[in-house]
Structure 1
Amino acid sequence: MDIYSFAPVAIVLDFAYSLVSGIADLLLPLTGSLSTAVAIVAITLLVRTALMPVGRSQVRAEFTRRRLAPQLAELQRRYKKKPELLQQKTMELYTAEKASPLAGCFPTLLQAPVISTVYGLFILQVINGHPNSLLTEQVFGVQLGTPLVAFLTAGTAWPGVLVYATFLGIIATVAWLSRRAALRNAPPPAEGLPANMQNLTGILSWMPFITVIFAAIVPLAATLYLAVTTSWTLVERAVLRRRYEKTTTG
């Protein structure tokens, strides 16, 4: 079954279509042929603004985990010969402080419906019974509904491939900077936790690079969304970390 043909999803998709089209029409006098692309950027910024409380809670949880590091070390010392009890006490401490190594996944999970909607808007020929005119919209001569692979196999790669290269380059750079920041700000691993949890920070630090692969196979409109939202995340985390560092050391 096509999920986009499911009535509730189709209604949401139709609303998103009207929203993108409406914003694009408002921007048309100012941005011309780029109006739909700019509309996607504007919607992305609105979504990320709405998710700012989640971003703050993430950074707060990150600093909480760093603050717990001495207590975790003490637990390791006290229960070194009782691994099961050490694991229990460690998890109790995390629970009591409302901290979790999985906190970094929340923005991705919350944005999944948005990226799915953007994806649907630029792959479907028909949306809730009417033609999808968004498929003809372009950014610098490249249709927003065209994935990189399809564009390359069409035989007209140059110079439009520069558009994909720019967006993917932004996402890759952000992924690299995000991984460095994640490793730099991660608390030391706690002994006594299951092996998969001990290595969780290192594993999760590579997750931003998955976005690069994903961005290369989705329509250009979704690639644009990912470029904007990942850049926002990087800047937001840096600002919030600096703010919390001043608060905790001031």
Structure 2
Amino acid sequence: MSSFMSVFASLVEHFASMLEPLFHASATAAAIILFTAFVRLLVHPLSRAGARGQRDRLKLQPRIAELRKQHRKNPEALQKAIMDLHREEKVSPLSGCLPMLFQMPAFFLLYHLFSSGSIGGTPNALLGHTLGAASLSGNFKDALAHGGLFGAQGLVYVALFALVAAVATFNYRRTKRQMALSAAAAPAPAADQPQMPGMGAMTTMSKYMPLMSFMTLFSVAFVPLAAALYVVTSTTWSAIERAVLYRDMPYGAGAAMPAI
């Protein structure tokens, strides 16, 4: 693991040195942003596949409505029938989660790189790199301790929080609108139809789903600034990507999830 981290650290430093003529002291921060964009390009085919899967799931809604009528008094049979239908049509209900899962290693790699005092037994030189006045290895608490919210370091976080809040608000409004359209288009369950196991918890969670985008604010505040840059870049990319990929879906498409 240490040898792998040493190679990754060398790559980051080399990439930053190439960008230094353009970005000067913030070259490493620029390298992290471009690294994030590269990772998102790699997982973009999975995002497109997730959008296709969502379209396929929407096409199955009339057949699922029929299954609900057939098994309205037997939730276990209904659940099995829906799973069999997805399997028969080769539609995965989890395809939309794959892009986020495949990004997790990249996020934790950056987190570990800018949290470790040494790499392979040598001091970690990356810990001294900055974005503006803020250290890439520090967090919001450190910035507050050196000048407060409107100090040189705090203003870096003010800018990041403003960007995250704008993206989260965009996702919030879009998700609320999509959930309202989805609820209007979904057939009302019969009065004598028993509730499927776990459906109550899912319904409760769905009420808070639009607010999940704002959880990114807490991530940005508590992780090292280098990892926060990854989160902010990836979340912004994800919001734009989903708006494009799901633009022609009538309802229920692309509910906002915290992206990394």
TM superposition score normalised by structure 1? 0.84
- SS of 1:242's equivalent in the other structure is coil
The one-letter amino acid paired with 1:166 is A
Q: Specify the alignment match of 1:229 in structure 2.
A: 234
Match of 2:161 among 168, 172, 176: 168
Structure 1 133/152 Cα, relative in aligned 2: closer, same or farther at 3 Å? same
**Whole-Å separation in 1 of the counterparts to 2:77 and 2:132:** 60
The one-letter amino acid paired with 1:131 is P
Determine whether 1:240 maps to 2:254.
no
The one-letter amino acid paired with 2:224 is P
Q: Specify the alignment match of 2:81 in structure 1.
A: 89
- SS of 2:246's equivalent in the other structure is helix
The one-letter amino acid paired with 2:152 is P
Task: Give the superposition deviation at 1:67.
Answer: 1.8
Determine whether 1:119 maps to 2:124.
no
Determine whether 1:11 maps to 2:16.
no
Structure 1 200/56 Cα, relative in aligned 2: closer, same or farther at 3 Å? farther
Greater Cα offset, 217-226 or 233-242: 233-242
**Whole-Å separation in 1 of the counterparts to 2:225 and 2:14:** 20
The one-letter amino acid paired with 1:148 is F
**Whole-Å separation in 2 of the counterparts to 1:166 and 1:173:** 11
**Superposition RMSD in Å:** 2.4
Q: Specify the alignment match of 1:138 in structure 2.
A: 130
Match of 2:100 among 108, 112, 133: 108
Instruction: Please list every run of 5 or more consecutive structure 2 residues that lacks an aligned counterpart in the other structure.
Output: 190-194, 251-260
Q: Deviations over 1:175-196 (max 9, x none)?
A: 3322433454455568654314
Superposition misfits of 4+ residues, deviation over 6 angstroms: none
TM superposition score normalised by structure 2? 0.81
**Whole-Å separation in 2 of the counterparts to 1:197 and 1:87:** 14
Question: Is the 8 Å Cα contact of residues 59 and 240 (structure 1) preserved in structure 2?
Answer: yes
**Whole-Å separation in 2 of the counterparts to 1:216 and 1:110:** 23
Question: Is the 8 Å Cα contact of residues 90 and 193 (structure 1) preserved in structure 2?
Answer: no
Q: Specify the alignment match of 1:159 in structure 2.
A: 152
**Whole-Å separation in 1 of the counterparts to 2:248 and 2:74:** 39
- SS of 2:76's equivalent in the other structure is helix
Structure 1 66/235 Cα, relative in aligned 2: closer, same or farther at 3 Å? same
The one-letter amino acid paired with 1:18 is S
**Whole-Å separation in 2 of the counterparts to 1:11 and 1:202:** 45
Task: Give the superposition deviation at 1:129.
Answer: 1.4
Instruction: Please list every run of 5 or more consecutive structure 1 residues that lacks an aligned counterpart in the other structure.
Output: 1-8, 246-250
The one-letter amino acid paired with 1:209 is F
The one-letter amino acid paired with 1:181 is R
Structure 1 204/62 Cα, relative in aligned 2: closer, same or farther at 3 Å? farther
Task: Give the superposition deviation at 1:128.
Answer: 1.4
The one-letter amino acid paired with 2:36 is T
Task: Give the superposition deviation at 1:18.
Answer: 0.9
Length, aligned pairs only: 237
Q: Specify the alignment match of 1:6 in structure 2.
A: none
